[in-house]
Amino acid sequence: MTVELRHLRAFLAIAAEGTITRAAARLHVTQPALSRTLRQLETHLGVRLIDRSTHHLRLTAAGHAFRPRAAAAVTAVDDALDPARAGTWPLRIGHAWSALGDHTTPLLRLWKQEDPDTPVQLLRVDDRLAGLEHGTVDVAVIRGEADLPAEVDTLLLLFEPRVAAVAADSPLTRKARLTLHDLVAEPIAVNTIAGTATLDLWPADDAPNSTVEVANTDDWIAAIAAGHAVGVTTTATAATYPNPAVTYLPLIDVPAVPVRLAWKQPPSHPAVPDLVNLARRLLLGERTRSRAAAGIPSPP
């Protein structure tokens, strides 16, 4: 049997909807036809992708592993057949939050100046790899450590200092800067999808007692603004998400966060190498100017 695109779409619809009934309605096919398509795909792969033993279908371990590959394949085919992309198509830059902070606008303006014929789309994707694994974007901004596939290349751009985010009326704002210990009495807002701050930042004998889990930066900001929690983030968030109800304060006893560009090999867009080189030039130039202003010699 030859696997066709419909087999992958069928699997992805079932995985997304959680039931054959809803997936069949989404794809406008009958339930028996959709079940047959799924069985054909599983037979071809020689593994069970979906556990049908429960009322709500669940992905097996093989199904979880196959899902991003199937999504990437479908996205690649859709992109290749998109009439709007027959000529020059947008270069998609993904980020889970804050893009490149203060560096975002200079990068986009310089790109428009140097390559005006290739449009850029900046996409926020609430995902640890900012859509790169699923093929939603061509280049991703990755903060902190991430489990990257073998085919992904990266470029370290900078290290972002950490800051604490607290409600503007919090007693903590009386201090000019904070330590991790200053936050232990408060619930910690943790972005479980793409955040870089977990309770592992704190020593085991001096850790907060509770967390407020959120799935994106908007909910993270809202929890802090309401006084339900405090947060730990980077200076990019303070620059990108100013909020009169939230105060950002330097956090002095925790390491800075590495920020990388990541892209697949081979690149999914011909302009990816140009963007990587532009980011390297821009960020390296800014670091050199910062060192010179501070009287620090440039490295040999």
Number of compact structural domains in the chain = 3
**Residue 134: its pLDDT value, please?**
87
**Residue 2: its pLDDT value, please?**
80
At 275, which CATH number? 3.40.190.10
Same domain assignment for residues 41 and 150: no
Same domain assignment for residues 75 and 97: no
Distance in angstroms between the alpha carbons of the first and the last residue of the chain: 60
Q: Domain range for residue 207?
A: 162-250
The residues facing 214 across adjacent strands are 191
In a domain, 299, yes or no: no
In a domain, 44, yes or no: yes
Tokens of 247: 């105060």
At 33, which CATH number? 1.10.10.10
In a domain, 240, yes or no: yes
Same domain assignment for residues 244 and 169: yes
In a domain, 300, yes or no: no
Same domain assignment for residues 230 and 185: yes
**Residue 4: its pLDDT value, please?**
87
**Residue 288: its pLDDT value, please?**
55
Same domain assignment for residues 178 and 246: yes
Using N-to-C axis directions, what is the helix angle for 20-27 and 5-17, rounded to 10°?
130
Q: Is 151 exposed, middle or buried (0-12, 13-18, 19+ CB in 10 A)?
A: exposed
Chain-centroid distance of CA 299 in Å reads: 32
pLDDT digits (tens), the chain, 300 positions? 688 889 999 999 999 888 888 899 989 899 999 999 999 999 999 999 999 876 678 899 999 999 998 988 888 787 777 665 555 689 999 999 999 999 999 999 999 999 998 999 999 999 999 999 888 999 999 999 888 888 999 999 999 999 999 999 999 999 999 999 999 999 999 999 999 999 999 999 999 999 999 999 999 999 999 999 999 999 999 999 999 999 999 999 999 999 999 999 989 999 999 999 999 999 876 655 544 444 445 444
Same domain assignment for residues 56 and 90: no
Gap between the Cα atoms of 117 and 88, Å rounded: 7
Pick from 62, 65, 28, 107: which is nearest to 285 by CA? 107
**Residue 90: its pLDDT value, please?**
92
Same domain assignment for residues 68 and 107: no
Tokens of 288: 């050199």
Same domain assignment for residues 189 and 139: no
Tokens of 2: 């030859």
The pTM (predicted TM-score) of the whole model is 0.71
CA count, 13 A, side-chain hemisphere, 208? 23
In a domain, 298, yes or no: no
> Alpha-carbon torsion 273, 97, 92, 289, what sign?
negative
In a domain, 289, yes or no: yes
- For the chain, the three-class secondary structure string (H helix, E strand, C coil) is CCCCHHHHHHHHHHHHHCCHHHHHHHHCCCHHHHHHHHHHHHHHHCCCCEECCCCCCEECHHHHHHHHHHHHHHHHHHHHCCHHHCCCCCEEEEECCCCCHHHHHHHHHHHHHHCCCCCEEEEECCCCCCCCCCCCCCEEEEECCCCCCCCEEEEEEEEECEEEEEECCCHHHHCCCECHHHHCCCCEEEECCCCCCCHHHCCHHHCCCCEEEECCHHHHHHHHHCCCCEEEEEHHHHHHCCCCCEEEEEECCCCCEEEEEEEECCCCCCCHHHHHHHHHHHHHHHHHHHHHHCCCCCCC
**Residue 84: its pLDDT value, please?**
58
In a domain, 138, yes or no: yes
Note the residue count of the chain. Answer: 300
**Residue 136: its pLDDT value, please?**
92
